[in-house]
């Protein structure tokens, strides 16, 4: 007589590894930020008003000849992107802290790196929207074509690195009373290599330089993005611990 227990057939679907909720958690955080901004319109309106005001000031303050426009434009654009982005990052995390949403996110049973990537992608969407408004306005005022594929790639890479570092540092600064002052102090020294590479690569595309002049700066942008995304992924859990 066979005393062995009967063999139970296991359906093939149960042999599959459990589906991770990481992507869903990231998407939920992004959707929460977008829905909150759609209702309040506090963040984008401030960033857009600031960016457009800076463009108008430069337009009336600096008379750029057609020869000088490709040289000066990269610096003007990244000044606009950097300051408008800092304003948005500070405001985004401050709203989370003041409304108690940040504490709720940290108590959620998900990997905290998913919270970081969700906040980072939300901030990246807001920054890209501002850039999509700034580029045609600047092109119209200065009669300069900014919709060059290489330039758009530089703006995307620079925005990713900027938002990755800014989201991490704003998570630190928001815990202090002087968060409005502390974030720029922490952020701008760290992003100097990013801004330098972005300005030089943007200038290379606008001036029609060869790829041998532009490629080192593109490599620096890619390396910066990869390094700081990895650093933020590893240390975000410790940064948000009080």
Report the 10 Å Cβ neighbour count for 46. 15
Do residues 48 and 131 make contact, with C-beta atoms less than 8 angstroms apart? no
Q: What angle do CA 177, 179, 185 make, to 5 degrees?
A: 130
Please give the pLDDT value at position 80.
Answer: 93
99: left (phi over 0), alpha (psi -120 to 50) or beta: alpha
Per-residue pLDDT 10s for the chain (242 aa) are: 455 545 444 344 343 333 467 888 888 889 988 888 888 888 888 899 999 999 988 888 877 777 888 889 999 999 999 999 998 888 777 777 766 676 677 777 777 888 889 889 999 999 999 999 999 999 998 888 899 999 999 999 999 999 999 999 988 888 777 777 888 888 999 999 999 999 999 999 999 888 999 999 999 999 999 999 999 988 888 877 75
How do the domains of the chain map onto residue ranges? Answer: 22-239
Q: Cα–Cα distance between 198 and 151 in angstroms, integer?
A: 9
For 242, the 3-state DSSP assignment is coil
Please give the pLDDT value at position 3.
Answer: 52
Q: Which residues contact 227 (CB under 8 A, 6 or more apart)?
A: none
Nearest to 121 by CA among 141, 145, 81, 92: 92
Q: Which residues contact 207 (CB under 8 A, 6 or more apart)?
A: 70, 71
Nearest to 236 by CA among 24, 33, 31, 93: 93
Please give the pLDDT value at position 17.
Answer: 36
Q: Which residues contact 60 (CB under 8 A, 6 or more apart)?
A: none
């Amino acid at each position: 007589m066979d005393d062995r227990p009967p063999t139970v057939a296991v359906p093939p679907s149960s042999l599959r590894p459990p589906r991770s909720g990481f992507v869903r958690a990231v998407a939920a955080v992004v959707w929460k930020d977008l829905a909150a901004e759609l209702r309040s319109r506090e963040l984008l309106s401030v960033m857009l008003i600031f960016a457009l005001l800076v463009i108008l000031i430069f337009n009336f303050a600096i008379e750029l000849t057609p020869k000088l426009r490709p040289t000066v434009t990269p610096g003007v654009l990244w000044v606009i992107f950097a300051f408008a982005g800092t304003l948005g990052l500070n405001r985004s995390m401050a709203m989370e802290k003041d409304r108690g949403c940040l504490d709720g996110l940290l108590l959620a049973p998900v990997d905290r790196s998913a919270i970081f990537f969700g906040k980072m992608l939300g901030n990246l969407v807001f920054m890209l929207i501002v850039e999509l408004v700034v580029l045609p306005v600047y092109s119209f005022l200065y009669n300069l074509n900014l919709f060059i594929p290489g330039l758009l790639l530089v703006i995307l890479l620079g925005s990713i690195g900027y938002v990755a570092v800014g989201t991490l540092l704003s998570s630190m600064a928001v815990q202090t009373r002087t968060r409005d002052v502390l974030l720029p102090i922490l952020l701008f020294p760290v992003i100097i290599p990013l801004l330098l590479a972005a300005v030089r690569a943007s200038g290379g595309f606008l001036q029609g330089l060869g790829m041998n002049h532009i490629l080192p700066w593109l490599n620096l942008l890619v390396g910066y993005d990869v390094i700081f995304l990895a650093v933020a992924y590893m240390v975000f859990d410790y940064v948000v611990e009080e």
